[in-house]
Amino acid sequence: MYLRGIRGATTVQHNDADEILSATSELLQAIVEANDFLPEDIGSVFITVTEDITATFPARAIRTLVGWELVPLMCSLEVPVENALPKCIRLMVQVNTTKTQAEINHVYLKEAKALRPDIVKLTNEATR
């Protein structure tokens, strides 16, 4: 068994609590589906947002999911790098698994696909 990090990112159009929660749920669900694990397998989830996301904590979306109540969650601000992708939510899901690094599927949605086009291409090829 190994502790593996699964990366994911998405964006929102507006600094709106409902949109932030919906985008976070969508991203987490896509990560779970792409990697086939249960909440019990999770060591923790680290969440970052760009400084233009202030309407709510994205962790709220995860905390309401059945089975995720005890998963440790942490929100933080992303490093404010000049010209970085705006309105971006990133997840680092630390999962206990027997999968190798090469078997992990990282997920990038919406405008966040531009962050790691190499991984998006690999993930798309793997799911065909």
Taking CA atoms, 95 is separated from 52, 54, 56, 77, 121, in Å, by 28, 27, 25, 22, 23
- Rounded distance, CA 99 to CA 88, Å? 28
**Is 88 in the active site?**
no
Enclosing H/E stretch for 126: helix 117-126
Query: Is 128 noted as a catalytic residue in this protein?
Result: no
Catalytic pick among 51, 75, 82, 88: 75
Residue 75 annotated to the active site: yes
Q: pLDDT band at residue 52, thresholds of 50, 70 and 90?
A: very high
d(CA 79, CA 82): 9
Q: Which residue has the higher pLDDT, 124 or 103?
A: 103
Is 78 catalytic? The answer is: yes
pTM of the model: 0.91
Cβ atoms of 55 and 15 within 8 Å: the answer is yes
The verdict on whether 4 is a catalytic residue reads no
